[in-house]
Amino acid sequence: MTEHPIPATRVVRQAGPAAARVLEADIVILGAGISGISAALEAAKLGRRVVLVDAGQQLGGQSTGSLLGTFCGFYSNGPDPYRVVYGIVDEMFAHLRKTDAFHLRRGRNSYIPLYQEQALVRWIEQAVHCAGIDVLLGAILLEVKRDGGRITALSLATRFGPVELRGQGFVDASGDAALSFAAGFDCRQPASPIMGTLMFTLEGFDEAAALKLDRWAVQKHLAEQGGRYGLVRRDGFVFAFPGKGQATVNMTHVETPLEPLGLAAAQAEGRAQADRVVAFLRGEYPQVFGTARVRQYGMLGIRQTRWIVGGHSITVDEVRRGVKPADAILRCSWPVELHDRAEDVHWEEFGDDHLHYVPLRAMLPVGADNLVAAGRCIDGDPAALSSVRVMGPCVAMGAAAAHALDLAGAGSVQQIDIAALQARLADNLTRCDRD
């Protein structure tokens, strides 16, 4: 028998504080959820050196880790919906279709595509790698260095040592306005909680029977019988992905506090609620879910915790009236979907021709020259934000952030040519392809 060589080792010891590794970029993006991914890929296409930072262990944020399973806010309303978001979406949807991980589902007044998370995370990883984007995962923001209104660097902690990340422009795609808050810019927090949801997937059920269920009848029954099972939330949906033997369940509500011990407690509470939801489905629909079991619990899905104070705060009245501001950078038709109560969701759906808009000013923290927010931490009242924080608008915001910083260069994003920005974002303002 041939002896296998034993790998060599060496003894190391850290003598004093570790020196930070210095990285430099044109565009630094904090948060690798769908808005951060969009910003990173768009900035790379513009020829910018990009570093993408996330505290998690994989790319995609909630789009891949929270088992959302549905793409919301990508289509208009009406009998023949058209897509309202482009950019990375073209390649993303094409990949998911090619890998049989996409199903275009017709909702009541729009399309809400279903997708499989593992196919999405692989597309994101491959796209980011091919674009030459540097990625820091498991990196925690400790400090933001700034010179007046300009951020100059981020101090990060990683398990492999400290990092100082210097950049010309910065995108806060953290979801919690973590970069803006740490930089000392004004931020808002809700006076009462906006509820999060722990999504989960089921297997071992009768898929054909599940696809025939009247979702609204199920929701009515949940409202009537949920108390018997100790359920907190009394509405929600089960989405079966045709041909996969898998369903995504959205029937929990959990408070998501902004304090160090809160996340773990909320995660555990969400899973406990999920288990009670499974008991409800088994007990009330035994022919469909009698043998169903949890395939996977998602990470806690967080809708709203903290957001910037921007140059403009979107109001729900503007959303309802479909106001198009002079600095509009995207359009959306998603309903007001306000999760401000434990027991249910407040919905306000819009008509066939309705569109509402996000202005660039809502993405620019007051006093910041080289920082743009994207995703659920832009400025607006809670009801207005509930209509623009879904994935479609978040993709469009990421693209807008990248182009705004590219146009600003060494100047201020507060003073860029809005017409030039809108020309770059024309697809997300005017294009109307039908899938």
Claim to verify: residue 209 and residue 346 sit in the same structural domain: no
Claim to verify: residue 250 and residue 320 sit in the same structural domain: no
What letter does residue 33 receive in the DSSP assignment? S
Claim to verify: residue 419 and residue 350 sit in the same structural domain: yes
Claim to verify: residue 92 and residue 181 sit in the same structural domain: yes
Claim to verify: residue 109 and residue 37 sit in the same structural domain: yes
Tell me whether residue 5 is in a domain: no
In the predicted structure, residue 391 carries a pLDDT above the cut 80:
yes
**Domain final position from 246, 274, 297:** 297
Tell me whether residue 195 is in a domain: no
pLDDT score of 15: 86
Query: How many CA atoms lie less than 13 Å away from 145 in the CB half-sphere?
Result: 11
pLDDT score of 316: 98
What is the arithmetic mean of pLDDT over 67-81? 95
Claim to verify: residue 311 and residue 280 sit in the same structural domain: no
Return d(Cα 431, Cα 402) in angstroms, integer.
20
Type of residue at 293: R
In the predicted structure, residue 1 carries a pLDDT above the cut 80:
no
**120 pLDDT band (50/70/90 cuts)?**
very high
Tokens of 254: 């959990």
Chain segment 344-374, per-residue pLDDT in tens: 999 999 999 999 999 999 999 999 999 999 9
Residues 6+ apart with CB under 8 A from 11: none
Claim to verify: residue 291 and residue 335 sit in the same structural domain: no
pLDDT score of 222: 94
**257 pLDDT band (50/70/90 cuts)?**
confident
Percent of the chain's residues with pLDDT above 70: 100
pLDDT score of 263: 92
- Which of 19, 17, 150, 31 shows the shortest CA–CA distance to 398? 31
Claim to verify: residue 178 and residue 103 sit in the same structural domain: yes
Claim to verify: residue 127 and residue 95 sit in the same structural domain: yes
Claim to verify: residue 79 and residue 183 sit in the same structural domain: yes
pLDDT score of 334: 97
Claim to verify: residue 259 and residue 342 sit in the same structural domain: no
- pLDDT averaged over every residue in the chain: 96
Claim to verify: residue 39 and residue 89 sit in the same structural domain: yes
* Domain span holding position 273: 200-297
Tokens of 292: 């169903």
pLDDT score of 107: 82
CB 183 within 8 A of CB 145: no
Report phi then psi at 168, rounded to 5: -90, -40
* Burial (CB count <10 Å: 0-12, 13-18, 19+), residue 2: exposed
**Domain final position from 297, 327, 342:** 297
Q: Total domain count for the chain?
A: 2
**327 pLDDT band (50/70/90 cuts)?**
very high
